Amino acid sequence: MKHSRTIKPKTSEYVFQGVNYVVLTLLTLLFLIPFLIVLSTSFVSSAEYARRGSLILFPQKIDFDAYRVLLTQGSILLNAYKITLFRVVVGTACNLLFTAMLAYGIAKKGIPGRNGIITMVFITMVFYGGLVPSYLLVKSLGLVDSVWSMVFPSLINAWWLIIMKNFFAQIPESLEESAFIDGANAGTVLLRIVVPLSMPIFATIGLFYAVWHWNSWFDASIYINGTTKLPIQVIMRNIVLSMSNQDLNQSVLADMATTPPPAATVRSAVIIVSTLPILLLYPFLQKYFVKGMIVGSLKG
Amino acid sequence: MKAAGGSSLRGRMARYRMHYALMAGGILYFIIFRYVPMYGITIAFKNVMPFDGIWAMVTAPYIGFTHFINFFRSYYFWNIIGNTLAISGLKLLFGFPAPILLALMLNEAWGIRFKKVTQTISYLPHFISMVVLAGLVSTLLSTSGGVFNEIIKKFGGETIYFLGEPKYFRTILVVSDVWKNMGWGSIIYLAALSGTNPELYEAAIVDGAGRWKQTLYITLPSIAYVIVIMFIFAVGGLLDAGFEQILLLYSPSVYQVSDIIDTYVYREGLINMKYSFSTAVGLFKSVIAMTLIVGTNALARKMGQEGIW
């Protein structure tokens, strides 16, 4: 605390700081350790597993067998990555496009019917039609087993729509007006004036949508039956949570000529492989999320 | 905007026709994907069978509240309501104060870099998917090579299948939930804390107030408002006990302590295909949830806060 420095700190202050640092450091370790354990488990070879037993926090030899298996045998995994990439890229693009277009309209105070539209959105924030009716709708639209079932049903998030609307509403009216006078239409104004001025909010909301798509599994698990269109999260659930060791050996490790890596190693490798992109990008994107969180909670 | 198009309703609508065109897609989305399912709720008052075809949802005759009565009378009613409230309540009890404590501790720490690093790491679990969380939990608690069981074995104990034990299951849910959300939840409190006037502390120090008194009389009051509002909203979400988390981690051996309304609706509706019955159960939840949200929001407004809308 800056204010503490204006007056010379007492000894008790140093003691307090010391304790605080220790507790916070331990907490930080608690946040990291689960990842580290899984990471190190993913490098344990079957030889070491047989020799040292199963709790190995520091493998003596970093063994990439599990990853090799996943990359070579795992056409399932590679394919799942493609599906996930599709929903992150195409899904997020659709999300942003439709969210921005609706937000731009309802940010305009003079539009007849604006309150009606906003009310319509609000009602969906407090009342949910329910799992089965939603499922039946997607089914009757013929979206079952289509990759679009991961895009359309969640096209616009009402909360993020409102955040975007509030951002648009802050843009000075005069900027748009001058463009209208020059003969531009609403589409051009949105594209040429509003969007460039709103890059921070597009980055934030876009990231929210992208992470949401990356992490989503439930929609795919109910809407998609075949394995070829399943995203990485569902494949991961199947391998990590549902499969017995025996199933795992038969499906993923079947054609291994040598001794396959232990099941725990393969499971850990799957977790790492499907989390890595987010973990690597996260430090760079973190500040946008925090900004978005604060914007959204102050005036959401 | 001025003139151009006149001020009659029709004139105004004509002037904004391009805006309407832009909004059309979004409006259509809300009607199709949000409002049609609301109409679909009517099947809770009908008897729609899985292979009846989609039009049966519209044409089937109304049978009244049969499904609701069956639900209220069933053994599951109190079980899943109890589980929902118990799990949600425990998460509130431990998950609510945790981010406040973290924010207070971070706020007191001197080192800027240390704070930054701690914050960054504490937000990390928020960004992993529920599947990864479940994967981490089941890996760490596994009977074959999970850290906890290996430690138990080292001390000569018996291996425990934690995820299959009713007495441990709720603890696992709560701990992993707090772990995932604590850091991220602290952001809002840190933002509120950063707005506290430093002069207040200086005055307090001059008056001889120690750290504890400063926290009690300056720091906490300055964020009390945020705490109350966050608590009200947390209560508004009381019926959401963590559907995805439970669905990924539970198994029949722990249904007794972990089957919540949402998981029950999922099993009855999509696995057992009792469409009408499960829709009735879901509607029961939606109505109470709506009452809670609207009520708590009104309360927040009464306190002078803008509310969530």
Q: Quote ipTM for the complex.
A: 0.88
Quick one: average pLDDT of B50-54? 75
> How do the domains of chain A map onto residue ranges?
2-72+243-298, 75-223
Alpha-carbon gap, residue B109 to B115, rounded angstroms: 7
Whether residue B233 is contained in a domain is answered as: yes
Whether B132 and A271 lie within 8 Å, measured CB to CB: yes
Quick one: average pLDDT of B110-133? 91
Confidence of residue A249 (pLDDT cuts 50, 70, 90): low
Find the helix packing angle between B130-140 and A11-41, rounded to 10°: 90
Asked if pLDDT for residue A60 goes beyond 80, the answer is: no
Name the residue in chain A with its Cα closest to that of B247: A218
With a pLDDT cut of 70, the percent of chain B lying above it is 95
**Same domain flag for B21 and B123:** no
pLDDT of residue A273: 86
- Report yes or no: A281 and A86 within 8 Å, Cβ to Cβ: no
Which range, of A27-36, A204-213, B48-57, averages the lowest pLDDT?
Answer: B48-57
Quick one: average pLDDT of B56-75? 91
Q: Which residue has the higher pLDDT, A245 or B56?
A: B56
pLDDT of residue A254: 59
Alpha-carbon gap, residue B156 to B168, rounded angstroms: 20
Q: Name every chain A residue with its beta carbon within 8 A of the beta carbon of B201.
A: 1, 3-4
Whether residue B101 is contained in a domain is answered as: yes
pLDDT of residue A2: 47
- A138 to chain B, closest Cα gap in Å: 8
pLDDT of residue B22: 92
Of B257, A275, B158, A30, which is closest to residue B148 (Cα–Cα)?
Answer: B158
pLDDT of residue A77: 82
**Same domain flag for B141 and B18:** no
* Partner-chain residue, chosen from A98, A133, A211, that has the shortest CB–CB distance to B37: A133
pLDDT of residue A296: 59
Q: Which of B59, B77, B100 is the last residue of a domain?
A: B59
Whether residue B1 is contained in a domain is answered as: no
Confidence of residue A6 (pLDDT cuts 50, 70, 90): low
How high does pLDDT run on average in chain B? Answer: 89
How many CB pairs lie under 8 A apart between chains A and B?
Answer: 298
- Report yes or no: A153 and A94 within 8 Å, Cβ to Cβ: no
In a mutagenesis test of the B interface, which of A23, A26, A120, A132 is the best target, namely the one with the most B β-carbons within 10 Å?
A132
Alpha-carbon gap, residue B72 to B81, rounded angstroms: 11
Whether A31 and B179 lie within 8 Å, measured CB to CB: yes
**Same domain flag for B76 and B197:** yes
Asked if pLDDT for residue B218 goes beyond 70, the answer is: yes
**Same domain flag for B211 and B189:** yes
pLDDT of residue A231: 94
Quick one: average pLDDT of B146-153? 86
Of B186, B171, B112, B119, which is closest to residue B141 (Cα–Cα)?
Answer: B171
Asked if pLDDT for residue B94 goes beyond 90, the answer is: yes
Whether B37 and A1 lie within 8 Å, measured CB to CB: no
Q: Name every chain B residue with its beta carbon within 8 A of the beta carbon of A135.
A: 269-270
pLDDT of residue B13: 80
Alpha-carbon gap, residue B82 to B50, rounded angstroms: 30
Quick one: average pLDDT of B76-85? 96
A162, burial (CB in 10 Å: exposed 0-12, middle 13-18, buried 19+): buried
Which spans in chain B are helix H?
9-15, 17-29, 36-40, 56-59, 66-73, 75-95, 97-108, 112-123, 130-140, 147-154, 166-194, 198-206, 211-214, 220-236, 243-249, 255-258, 261-266, 275-302
Asked if pLDDT for residue B101 goes beyond 90, the answer is: yes
Asked if pLDDT for residue B2 goes beyond 50, the answer is: no
Whether residue B4 is contained in a domain is answered as: no
**Same domain flag for B155 and B206:** yes
Q: Which of A32-36, A69-73, B25-29 has the highest mean pLDDT?
A: B25-29
Whether B140 and A125 lie within 8 Å, measured CB to CB: no
Asked if pLDDT for residue A40 goes beyond 80, the answer is: yes
Burial letters for B271-296: b for 16+ Cβ neighbours within 10 Å, e otherwise? Answer: eeebbbbbbbbbbbbbeebbebbeeb
CATH 3.40.640.10 assigned to A75-223: no
Domain tally for chain B? Answer: 2
**Same domain flag for B222 and B275:** yes
**Same domain flag for B249 and B274:** yes
**Same domain flag for B140 and B176:** yes
Name the residue in chain A with its Cα closest to that of B250: A241
Q: 10 Å Cβ neighbour count for B223?
A: 22
Confidence of residue A53 (pLDDT cuts 50, 70, 90): low
What pLDDT, in 10s, does the model give residues B106-117?
998 888 899 999
What pLDDT, in 10s, does the model give residues A61-110?
788 888 887 777 657 788 899 999 999 999 999 999 999 999 999 998 88
Here the tokens at position B213 are: 């008194």
Whether residue B196 is contained in a domain is answered as: yes
pLDDT of residue B96: 97
Whether A128 and B308 lie within 8 Å, measured CB to CB: no
Q: Which residue has the higher pLDDT, B82 or B140?
A: B82
What pLDDT, in 10s, does the model give residues B284-309?
999 999 999 889 888 888 876 655 54
Whether residue B19 is contained in a domain is answered as: yes
Asked if pLDDT for residue B5 goes beyond 70, the answer is: no
**Same domain flag for B50 and B85:** no
Whether residue B201 is contained in a domain is answered as: yes
Domain span holding position B43? 9-59
Whether A218 and B283 lie within 8 Å, measured CB to CB: no
CATH of the domain at B119: 1.10.3720.10
Name the residue in chain B with its Cα closest to that of A34: B136
pLDDT of residue B3: 44
Whether residue B78 is contained in a domain is answered as: yes
- B28 to chain A, closest Cα gap in Å: 10
